[in-house]
Structure 1
């Protein structure tokens, strides 16, 4: 294989891996955001039980961050900003919802959230790749 063919193969492979990574990172966020926005009363009740301020407003903001941020990452639009937003958001969610040291299930979810945030920060550093809206707008 020539150097040119190898470079093209690697570039194509990187684009596909980055696209798959974006899809996998958004599998939780898009449906979660949609569900929060379509079940606003229940989401607000949950947030009120967590003593979050303005639970209905918080539910709308959280739902929009998950849904719109997830869609932005999925399609690769303003990916670096969306990935940073979702990474910080996911750390916040870990601290608010899963920092329960005596509960093993919550601790597992806490560390899963941190791992997901790490994935978002790598994506923010790396960018959306060539199979993205960002690449088409360049």
Structure 2
């Protein structure tokens, strides 16, 4: 094996590891948030109702499932592009519903953070899950 092949192989390995770590870091927030919503439907529905969302209990369950299942899909790298796009669309919608009070610096920071997360999800949707994933194993 030539030096060029070893370097390319090591580079591919580093890239795959970086994508795996990035997937875990991006998805952790969604997995934890989804789990929290699903284990406190009443509390989540109460908050959703207070901000004017319709059918807050149904929305709480659907959002909790999207965050938990979508986050886990990204962690293991299964249908990663679809999961990243779904969570990105959800994050934009959630931001537009709950984080538009720019007079409140905390809400403004949440707005910025969420759009940065959407950026990461779009990059993940573009590059895919990498070799260290279910998607990578399926070829």
Secondary structure at 1:100's aligned position in 2? Answer: coil
Tell me by how many angstroms 1:137 deviates.
Answer: 1.6
Deviation at 1:92, TM superposition (A): 0.9
Using the alignment, how far apart are the partners of 1:80 and 1:28 within structure 2?
A: 18
Distance 2:32 2:25 in 1: 13
Alignment-derived partner of residue 5 in structure 1: 6
In structure 2, list runs of 5 or more residues that go unmatched: none
Measure, in 2, the Cα distance between the counterparts of 1:84 and 1:70. 11
Q: Which moved more, 1:93-102 or 1:63-72?
A: 93-102
Q: Which runs of 5+ in 1 are unaligned?
A: none
Greater shift, 66-75 or 87-96, is seen at 87-96
Number of equivalent positions: 138
- Per-residue CA deviations over 1:55-87 (Å, capped at 9, x if unaligned) read 000000100010000000000000000000011
2:70 aligned with 1:69, yes or no? Answer: yes
Cα RMSD, aligned residues only: 0.8
Structure 2 CA distance for aligned equivalents of residues 28 and 22 of structure 1: 11
Q: CA deviation at 1:106?
A: 0.4
Using the TM superposition, give the Cα deviation of residue 132 of structure 1 relative to its aligned residue in structure 2, in angstroms: 0.1
* TM-score, length-scaled by structure 1: 0.98
**Structure 2: how far apart are the matches of 1:137 and 1:48?**
42
Alignment of 1:60-99 (within 5 A): 60-99=61-100
Task: State the shift of 1:101 in Å.
Answer: 1.4
Which residue matches 2:108? 107
In structure 1, distance between residues paired with 2:4 and 2:62: 49
Whole-angstrom CA distance in 2 between matches of 1:49 and 1:95: 16
